Amino acid sequence: RILNDTLDSGARLAADPRALAALHEWLGPVDPALTTVAGIHYNLFLGSLLDHDPGTPRDLSDFLELRSIGTFLCTEVAHGN
C-alpha cells in the first residue's frame, strides 16, 4: 500500500509503459517479490481491464486504491503448461 499511496493514480501508471518500466527497474533490485506482485497488479491486471473496451463502465476503485489486488491468468488454446 505504501507504493500505491505514492502514486498520483494507479490507472495512470497502468497506462504509462515508461513509468511501468521505471517501476520495475527501481523496485526490482530492492524487493523482487513486490516487483512481481506490482507488475501483475498494475500492468497485467489493471492494464488489461483499462485497455479492453474502455467504453464499458467498471468499478475498479477497490483495485485502484489497493483494497484488493488484481490477478492475471494466461492460457494457450490447445496447449497446456
Task: Quick: pLDDT tens for 19-49.
Answer: 888 888 988 899 999 888 888 888 888 888 8
Distance, in Å, from the CA atom of 27 to the CA atom of 34, rounded to the nearest integer, reads 8
Residue 30 C-alpha from the chain's centroid: 18
Regarding predicted confidence, which is higher, 56 or 2? 56
pTM assigned to the model: 0.71
pLDDT for position 81: 59
Distance, in Å, from the CA atom of 17 to the CA atom of 72, rounded to the nearest integer, reads 18
Task: Quick: pLDDT tens for 45-61.
Answer: 888 888 887 787 888 88
pLDDT for 72 beyond 80: yes
Match 527501481 to its residue by C-alpha cell.
26
- What value does the CA radius of gyration of the chain take, rounded to a whole number of Å? 13
7 and 27 Cβ atoms separated by less than 8 Å: no
pLDDT for position 39: 86
